[in-house]
Amino acid sequence: MAEFISSRHTGLFMQPVSATSSSTDKKQQNKAQQQDFKSLFRRFVEERGDTLEETLEKKDEVRKELEALQAQRQVTEIIRRILPDGTIMVTHYEQGNIVDRYFKRPHYKEVPDPSADIPRASDGTRLTAQQKMKFVPKQALLDDLFG
């Protein structure tokens, strides 16, 4: 402390001798650590240099796979399903989501209903013109497929 007090009076700042030697030691240690890190990094780069091309190829493959998956998601699909009554259910998909769905009813024809009773006249004759009718598809798809 006496050195610092005397330096104030003289206007000169005096540092202890031990402080200068410790600061140079720290600088040398920092330089040595930097050299060690640089040598480690060089060895790492040299080791990885051979595998760098392989790594880039793998990266390109992964990128192409991701692009293919995204392209599959952006596909617009139209799926038609045949229901048991002959109705065709049309579904539009965009990017995996349902956008539109509608049902296309089949063309129907009138046929006599076999389960309904045939009306009779007062004299007992059958009135086939007044028989109840039902609608059935003109083309029975299930009969065509499985019959």
State the amino acid at position 102 in one-letter form.
Y
Selection from 27-36, 47-56, 63-72, 103-112 with the highest mean pLDDT:
103-112
> Is residue 7 in a domain?
no
The confidence score (pLDDT) of residue 9 equals 53
Residues 90 and 123 placed together within one structural domain of the fold: no
> Is residue 142 in a domain?
yes
Structure tokens at 99: 């956008």
For 69-101, b/e burial (b = at least 16 CB within 10 A) is eeeeeeeeeeeeeeeeebeeeeeeeeeeeeeee
Strand partners, 135: 110
What pLDDT, in 10s, does the model give residues 13-27? 555 555 555 677 888
The confidence score (pLDDT) of residue 11 equals 54
What pLDDT, in 10s, does the model give residues 29-52? 888 888 888 888 788 777 766 677
Q: How many residues does the chain have?
A: 147
pLDDT at 76 over 90: no
Residues 113 and 141 placed together within one structural domain of the fold: yes
Give the percent of the chain with pLDDT over 90: 18
The residue that leads in pLDDT, 38 or 110, is 110
Q: Domain of residue 89: give its range.
A: 75-105
Task: Choose among 137, 76, 134: nearest CA to 104.
Answer: 137
If one counts the domains in the chain, the total is 3
Q: Which residue has the tokens 């995996």?
A: 96
Q: Which residue has the tokens 């190829």?
A: 57
